[in-house]
Amino acid sequence: MNSGTEVIRNAGGFIDPAVGTEGARDDLQMYYCFTDDTVQVFSKIEDHLGQATLAVQVNLTDLGRLAPVQRVERVMSCEYEQKPVLVIVAASSEQLHVVFWFDIRSESLNLVALEEPLAGQICAFHVMHSPMIVFAGELKKDQALRHILAFGMHDGSIRIVMIEYPIGDRIQTTSTLVSASELDGSPVTALTLIPPAKNKPWRAHSSYDPRLVVGTIKGLLVHLTVHRSGSITVNTPHRLRANIAYNSHPITHITGLRDPKRQSKCVIAVGQDSSLGSTANDSVKNQACVNVIEYYGNNQRKCIFVLRPIALQDICEIMSLRLMPNSTGYSITIGFRSINADSLNMVSYNIFKEEHTVIARLNLDTKEEELGWLWDVYPLENKYLALAENSLFRKRTKIV
């Protein structure tokens, strides 16, 4: 690891301020970027300039000391005991992948020792943001913190891995496979892991257990419960397809959270856009959209509403999607881009809960040119911070 000076940007995202920092949510401190051969972490984001300090970077040489690698494929952030961590997925060959755990503060890098080789084409990847407590089972301790990783594969299967916090150079794991026959057999193009409810006792088949929400290229949307035990067990998928705008349109983005006031309820945002198989000539009836769905431990669910771009007339794709809790409910921020131009429309909604009524308020509407690909958008008080391929910038919120 070193702290080089050249900024590289092919993909990246913000590291939630709840990870590695204390204080208000406006105190956004870090983000990461990566290319095929380097991962960089930036800190101390300057409010007035939208700049940051390069804190640390990891390159293929660092990864190669632990396992043979050819390129970095995917990176996601999570936290362990309030410390920010990156999970790095790298290709060791055309169809084989290895996983690393990088503690940003200590700059320690560990290899995740998978039970079985991770083989095939990865189409989607997610890390549960916060660890969960597991009880008894096959791993070493009777009670310990564990993270879950999920890999959506091109063959239609899902590999779910539970990792033990590093002891020595390697991180031990246990895993399970959701076969393609349990879904629809098409590539898994989006998935998200929702952590278990806080301060709730473990019960078999509990509605407080972690949830895995999965979408495919054929528009299948399901949720599964991952039971908290020393070994990974997953229940039968429950279908949510009736709650989305397009029953057979590809699902490209999923994000979710657990309602802090009613922890048996989860909220998910499901993006369907034109980036997989559609063209600019498609009917506007198939315009990109984000479906906001609430569902409960008894498998009751309801579609709250469908969000679409408001400032672009062309067929669009979704570049970024972020769902976050706030003091009144939750907020959702979406970056739409026209697929036949570089026009960008970012919209953000605050969802308020008052006597079980949902109210949507648009609080951001702007167009930006020549930004390159938009990786992540973070809503702040009266403004937002956006991380794009060619820039890091802040904008004031426009209330509508």
DSSP of 144-207: EEEEEEEEEETTS-EEEEEEEPPBTTEE-EEEEEE-GGGTTSS-EEEEEEEPPPTT----TT-T
Residuewise pLDDT in 10s, the chain (400 residues) = 554 434 444 689 998 865 543 333 445 778 999 999 999 998 877 654 556 788 999 999 999 999 999 999 999 999 888 889 999 999 998 789 999 999 999 999 999 999 889 999 999 999 999 888 776 554 444 667 788 999 999 999 999 998 877 666 678 888 888 999 899 999 999 999 998 887 665 554 467 788 899 999 999 999 888 876 656 777 777 888 777 888 888 999 999 998 877 777 889 999 998 666 554 445 556 788 999 988 876 667 677 788 888 766 778 888 889 998 877 778 888 888 877 766 677 777 766 654 434 444 433 444 455 556 778 888 776 677 778 776 676 655 544 3
Do residues 169 and 110 lie in contact, with contact meaning Cβ atoms separated by under 8 Å? yes
Do residues 294 and 301 lie in contact, with contact meaning Cβ atoms separated by under 8 Å? yes
Token output for 125: 């990847």
The torsion angle over the Cα atoms of residues 279, 153, 165 and 213, rounded to 10 degrees, is 60
Q: Strands 233-234 and 289-295, how do they pair?
A: unpaired
Considering all CA atoms of the chain, what is the largest pairwise distance in Å, rounded to the nearest integer? 57
Token output for 79: 């936290």
Instruction: Identify any residues that bridge with 292 across adjacent strands, giving them in sequence order.
Output: 269, 305
Query: What is the arrangement of strands in the sheet containing 344-354, beginning at the earlier edge strand?
Result: 316-325, 329-338, 344-354, 357-368
Name 156's Cβ contacts closer than 8 Å, sequence gap at least 6.
180, 183, 184, 185, 186, 187, 188, 216
CA–CA dist 385, 238 (Å, integer): 36
Query: pTM of this prediction?
Result: 0.86
